[in-house]
Structure 1
Amino acid sequence: MALTLRIRTPTGMKRIQASPEWTLKHLYQEVAAMLGISARLRLKTKQSKDLAESGWDKPLSATSIRHGDILTLEVEKSAEEQEKHDEEQRRLQALELDAVDVVLAAKDGKVTRKRGPLCRHPPMGSCLHCTPLEPYDPQVLNAADPPIKFLSFQSFLRKIEHGCVDKFAALPEIDCKVKPCLNHAPWPEGICSKCQPSAVVLNRQEYRHVDYVEFESHEILDKFLDAWRRSGAQRAGFMYGSYEEYDQVPLGVKAVVKAIYEPPQSNSALGLEIALESPQIQQVDQMAKQLGLKRVGWIFTDLEPDANGLAKYKRYIQPGDEDSYVISAEEILNAAMFQNQHPNPVPPRFSTTGVHGSKFTTVVVSGDSEHQIVPRAYQASTQAMNLVRDDILRPSDSPALVAVRPADDTTFVPEVLFTQRDKYNNEIKHKADPLFPVAYLAVDLPAGGRMDATSTTFSVSFPIENREALGAPASLSALKQHLQDTSKSFLQKVSDFHLLVYLMTDDMFVSLKESLPSLLRAVRDGDESAAAAWTQDEHWMTITMLMESS
């Protein structure tokens, strides 16, 4: 009598008809042939015992296997797969939470309330009307002035944890890749419900990873805008700074911009293109890390003078105009690309990958309704990041609409839906066929200067990098003139981000490669004596002699 055995595999339950006279070796061969597996495999009983331990030549009738038993299949990883697995584990172990997240996670986060007219208890007591509220409570959000549109990310984590009982709360992620499947030929020859990615339903994101973009001083932004004022061409830069607590939002985070680096780029009045492959960008990233800074975002201008010479108001939603926008499709897709390069570490209990979303921000400088030049900040939603990572989205002819790319022989594209509410407040799902509004991918946040800016990390008096076309290049003569200021100490004079970029990236200062980290540490720590000691470096003294003779 044949035995019907059930094989539990990673892709589901399979059945095989086996003869009691089969040896275990023959059973393994039949299972491998049925599933198309060439790697070594194991079959385990429900007691997690490996069948191979019973002996390869033993017939099934002489083992504990019975008709209807379930055997669990385990496929041994190849050396390449094992290396990938080990590399992923090393990556997860190397991830470090941002310092601000560690501080906020340790806080209670609840918002206290004063005793109100409805309270009927002693001063030391509390009741429903004055007990502290969770940071995600709608009463907290609506009571703020102005009301808070988006939860801070730490508040959102508290919210999803609060709704989970006896299990971990998982952050939502989209995966548009086809899963490996043994039931049929790979895409495009075949696909099934087990390997096909689910349809994507786009929703407005209710949280944001950063709640405010703060420029440490107005000079940082003003110097950046000088390029547009002098040339009329648009300009872009990468913002470097740190993430700090933001007390205007419960458990909030702000990106503090301490410097703007302008990478090599080509510019015109209509747009710009950044040379992202330039090795200079990596050099500046390394320098910033030694200064204790992170790349916290990117910034670009979209400025156009009107008939009166004022900044034209062009980024707003015009009712009835489908092409009006506040951030374009191409810009939000670029934002998602940058955010994928700078993922946000999270505790492993929230994500198996150890990351979710990004704190990287996008700042657009344009004219407002009063024709003033103002910065506006945005982030691409986590859904946008996932879709861009999986190469699903494209810009369209309209700046306000994003297109879903068609499927081809290399990429399966799942159905993309977006939700809207009708006049009766019912939620209606629409298919992106292939267009949908860019607003579903964007999260806006305020941006501005620090109100109590008494001191700044860096000065901005040295010529800014990559402005040769504007007639203001960083040069040895500019360095000489900058260092001749007798009213400042050497440390104060070299605490200029653009001067340090010049020393870090110009070929003239290759000899400083080994000693420059010492200067960067002195600038980071504000150590006057260490900076003074660095001036005795033989290579720096040679450069000083060159400046004196020029």
Structure 2
Amino acid sequence: MLIRIRSKDGNFRHELDPDADASVLLQKNQILENASNIDQDTVTISNQPRGGETKLSSLKGRTLKKLGLKHGDLIFVQYKEKSSGSSAAPPSSSKTTPSTVPDAAHRPWELVQEDPVDIYWRSRDGKIPRQRDPQFCKHGPKGMCDYCMPLEPYDAAYHSEHRIKHLSYHAYLQKVTPKSSVAAQFIPPLNPLDYRVKTPCPTGNHPSWPLGICTSCQPSAITLQSQPFRMVDHLEIASTDVIDRFLQAWRRTGMQRFGWMIGRYEPYDKVPMGVKAVVEAIHEPPQEGELDGLTLGLPWEDEPRIRNLASQCSTPMTIVGYIFTDLDPREEDRTKNVYKRHPGSFLMSSLEAIFAATMQSRNPMFSKSSSSGKFSSRLVTAILTGTEDGAIDVSAYQVSEQATAMVEADMIEASVDPGIVRVKEEDRSANAARYVPDVFFSYKNEYGLEVKKSAKPAFPVEYLMVNVTHGFPQNPVPSFQSTQFLIENRPGLEDQTVERVLSQLSSLGAPDIPDSRHRKPGEAQKVFELAKFLSDWHLVAFLDTTQLLPPDDMKVFMKVATSPTLMSDPSQLDPLFATDGWQTLMTFTREHAPQQVSRSVMDEDIPQDILDQIAAEQAAAEESRPASGIASTATSGAATPGIKTCPHCTFENDATRTDCEVCGLPL
């Protein structure tokens, strides 16, 4: 049974055996561990804050059940301390004393390191300011009344007026956290949902599930309902180039693609105490694309390396979600896509919702407001699909905490109908040992009445979804300036090689570019092109696998590549140029550069008049070329009309382009 203990050291919860001796309370209340000079003979317990105290030492030999304690009872513990003597050891600040070890074990939320956006919102009250109402406010400009005082961030009227469906996570925290909570008596207001059978049973009166079950260890009935809050309020793609580059694989092959979104979390000012996920890059793991789906290998072996690399950006990043395509061109017009996801069909399939719940369960959010130190997840699901007019747009979702708990308990499965989730049958076999409690969901019938219905055998997937808005910034300032480098895990379509990197660095003249102290006037354009080329997530992620640059130099590379002032301040490249890894890379670049053949050797057998004629023809061709640099489609020889081959990476571009679609270098 669950017994709550309150003392001046804090509040504690413990699962105890009803037949255990009362002396167990002396070990479970953590007093002995937290106060080394306690007088054990003065420890008293009571069922009320003041009065009725009984010495705990006098209750030895009596069980908790005989004392009348029941599941959920609250016990108040008091004690006195011994007088400190001269022989007491002085406190040490350099070592962790044994007393802090059990305290940390029972208070995991105190050891949690939260995301910077959570630290930001915890330092603010989040109140919504209001201007003085000229009609109702009768006070002066410095006064305040009920008509102009700030609103709480969870104010229902404000959310309804501004059509905000969900509370933000921190607004929800403000709502559920008692205002009188202080550090010494703080009890985390959030308890993660768990629909699994408790094993072993807290009572200890029967064998563990599946051999036995009782009301103390079985989960309660579940009523599905719309989650009132959301962990992420908005998904922001730092640049449209990020999405366009991701879509190129589908445009060339017709196969669906999947990618992990790399970015960070920031405050979102459109929602009280809101949080947005900002996506700076999309990293594509190994996968097998198909016309109507894809196969993905999990767990992702490269995830630790990618997370570590992302954390080394000038502003640390992480995996904020994942994105995949679900695109199907129309038969009558292949330039437009089928509008398959809408309220009349489905927005998120049951299979996708279960996958999202699995991913969110594997990526929990650390929170000081949760009894376990973890709560829900901020991982966002983004889907690229066709719109009503046949274009392509992003849809963003999360699944509720109920969805995650049901997947963890192995209670639900996908259905043939994408908009329906099936509830699994109970299984008492030793291999599965699945217990499924009663599951209900409510809806309004044709008469407008609220009706509760059993969710077995199936229920709509909408009960598990949480909508997330999305968009692009009006004035993009992406951390990565380029998206042109070849993308990983696109075999046969884009193959990343060291030779390709060395060739591009050579074309940019990287070995000849000195640091800012030794640069000559007129080299600004070369430095600008090199800086843009280096500021590419896919380039840095690839170089990290080549071991050409040691780990410390890769940290410098990542900070330089994501520096906010990289494109405006050429000196930002200096720390990278000073590393041994860069010098080694430049040595390989010089060795890889094509050897220049001298004119005397190449032209020694060609008469001078022929050379002059060739030069005149070349000059005439240059004069006839359009000023914009767009190549004429009426080319001679074996060149393909409308195609312009990149001299750097040999990729065939459309003739209207002035730079290569793959490597980004001038054509």
TM-score (norm 1): 0.80
Cα deviation, residue 339, structure 1: 1.1
Match of 2:547? 509
Counterpart residue type for residue 297 of structure 2: A
Q: Which residue of 1 aligns with 2:326?
A: 302
Structure 1 residue 240, shift from structure 2 partner: 0.4
How many residue pairs get matched?
482
> Which residue number corresponds to residue 359 of structure 2?
338
- Higher mean Cα deviation, 435-444 or 380-389? 380-389
Distance in 2, matches of 1:160 and 1:442, equals 22
Q: Tell me which of 514, 535, 544 is aligned to 2:589.
A: 544
Instruction: Give the distance between the partners of 1:163 and 1:420, measured in 2 at CA.
Output: 34
Do residues 108 (structure 1) and 125 (structure 2) align?
yes
- Show the counterpart of 2:482: 459
CA RMSD between the two structures? 3.2
Whole-angstrom CA distance in 2 between matches of 1:157 and 1:232:
45
Partner of 2:277: 255
Moved more, 292-301 or 123-132: 123-132
Name the SS for the 2:262 alignment partner: strand
Query: What is aligned with 1:150?
Result: 166
Check conservation: 1:381, 1:441, Cα contact below 8 A: yes
**Residues 172 and 229, structure 2, Cα contact 8 Å, conserved in 1:** yes
CA distance in 1, matches of 2:104, 2:399: 28
* Residue of structure 2 equivalent to 1:529: 574
Question: Identity across aligned pairs (percent)?
Answer: 33
Counting only pairs closer than 5 Å after superposition, residues 165-184 of structure 1 correspond to structure 2 as 168=187, 170-171=189-190, 173-179=192-198, 180-181=200-201, 182-184=204-206
Counterpart of 1:311 in structure 2 is 337
Please show how residues 259-278 of structure 1 align to structure 2 within 5 Å.
259-278=281-300
Query: CA deviation digits over 1:49-102, x for unaligned, max 9?
Result: 3988xxxxxxx8xxxx79x963999xxxxxxxxxx9899669755521110111
Q: CA deviation at 1:314?
A: 0.6
Question: Which position in structure 2 is the counterpart of 1:133?
Answer: 151
Question: In 2, are the aligned partners of 1:339 and 1:358 still within 8 Å (CA)?
Answer: yes
Distance in 1, matches of 2:104 and 2:423, equals 33
1:439 corresponds in structure 2 to 462
Q: CA deviation at 1:433?
A: 1.1
Are 1:371 and 2:396 matched, yes or no?
no
Corresponding residue of 2:33: none
Contact 2:353 2:464 in 1 (8 A): yes
Match of 1:220 in 2: 242
| Equivalence for 1:96 | 113
1:240-269 CA deviation, whole Å, 9 max, x = no partner? 011011111111111000000011100011
Q: Which amino acid aligns with 2:258?
A: A
- SS of the residue corresponding to residue 366 of structure 1 reads strand
Maintained 8 Å contact 2:104/2:110: no
Cα separation, partners in 2 of 1:275 and 1:488, compared to 1, 3 Å = farther
1:161 aligns with 2:182: no
Inter-partner Cα distance in structure 2 for 1:154 and 1:207: 9
Using the alignment, how far apart are the partners of 1:429 and 1:169 within structure 2?
Answer: 31
Which residue, 119, 123, 131 being the options, matches 2:141?
A: 123
Cα deviation code 1:122-142 (max 9, x no counterpart): 222222222211121122112
SS at match of 2:459: strand
> How many Å separate the matches in 2 of 1:72 and 1:118?
55
Q: Indicate yes or no: 2:232 matched with 1:210.
A: yes
**1:512–1:539 contact (8 Å) kept in structure 2:** no
Residue 70 (str. 1) matches residue 92 (str. 2): no
Bigger RCO of structures 1 and 2 (CA < 8 A, at least 6 apart)? 1
Q: Which amino acid aligns with 1:327?
A: M
The range that moved more, 165-174 or 401-410, is: 165-174
SS in structure 2 at match of 1:245: strand
Structure 1 match to 2:41: none
Cα separation, partners in 2 of 1:170 and 1:427, compared to 1, 3 Å:
farther
TM-score, L = length of structure 2? 0.66
Indicate how the Cα distance of structure 1 residues 495 and 438 shifts in structure 2: closer, same or farther if over 3 A, else same. Answer: same
Deviates more, 1:461-470 or 1:536-545: 536-545
2:413/2:423 contact within 8 Å kept? yes
Give the letter aligned to residue 288 of structure 1. Answer: A
Of residues 282, 287, 291 in structure 1, which corresponds to 2:309? 287
Distance 1:162 1:143, change over 3 A: farther
Distance 2:207 2:217 in 1: 11
Asked if the contact 1:174/1:387 (under 8 Å) is kept, the reply is no
Q: 1:479-494 maps to which residues of 2 (within 5 A)?
A: 479-483=501-505, 484-485=507-508, 487-488=526-527, 490-494=530-534
8 Å contact from structure 2 (residues 553, 581) kept in 1: no
Contact 1:462–1:478 under 8 Å retained in 2: no
- Aligned residue for 2:442, secondary structure, equals strand
Q: After TM superposition, give the deviation of residue 536 of structure 1 in Å.
A: 5.5
Shift of 1:440: 0.7
Q: What does residue 435 of structure 2 align with?
A: 412
- Structure 2: gaps (5+ residues): 1-13, 24-43, 46-53, 71-100, 510-525, 567-571, 596-667
Query: Partners of 1:96 and 1:345 in 2: how far apart?
Result: 7
Is 1:498–2:514 an aligned residue pair?
A: no
CA pair 364-523 structure 1, distance change in 2 beyond 3 A:
same
Deviations 1:203-223 (A, max 9, x none): 101111111110111100110
Q: Deviations over 1:277-300 (max 9, x none)?
A: 443333222211222211000000
Quick check: which has more Rg, 1 or 2?
A: 2
* Structure 2 counterparts to residues 42-53 of structure 1, below 5 A: 47-49=55-57
Which one is further off, 302-311 or 279-288? 279-288
Distance change in 2, residues 1:257/1:325 (3 Å): same
Distance 1:13 1:325 in 2: 50
Q: Structure 1 residues 491, 95: closer, same or farther in 2, change over 3 A?
A: farther
Q: Structure 2 vs 1, CA of residues 466 and 247 (structure 1 numbering), >3 Å: closer, same or farther? A: same
**Separation in 2, partners of 1:85, 1:510:** 46
Distance 1:12 1:282, change over 3 A: closer
Distance 2:388 2:477 in 1: 30
